[in-house]
A and B are shown apart, each in its own frame.
Chain A
């Protein structure tokens, strides 16, 4: 099983600032099958990034993903008020276990 560890657990920033979220895998994620999701209270997760760096349909370009192997990063260039939420990384290359990280809560400072 690939274990994903996200850091930090909580990130406190202000609107307009840059956010950098990390996801580290216990072993290499094949073909960069790494995704990022955003989840707001009471809502289902929303796909942001797939293939480590490709934005999903309709996702603003202030969201970007990078990384390969075992280290991945989600960057939000300039935080908007609606970006404060919980973010999860997920690997989907190691069938049949599609594991998620434990989440990073992005809160308003």
Chain B
């Protein structure tokens, strides 16, 4: 089955810096890669996603890149703000509409 690894587990940056979170997956059939943001005590919220026929997708300060050959994808956050502080999860599809999640990255943005 699918296995998703996520790094780093924690990431501390200064406000205004960029943050990059990386994930690798094992199933070459995976074709959908979402990223979720989870604030403390709240539900995971979908912030951006990418499909296997696209190499990069951007939405304001957030971008995701996908390298199918290497089986890895990354989340890039530019001009970080304190409200970006949260746990971020990557995921990849496995089978019919099933997601396998990474272990999460705790991002802390200091003012």
Partners in one complex: no
Which residues of B are in contact with A by a Cβ distance under 8 Å? none
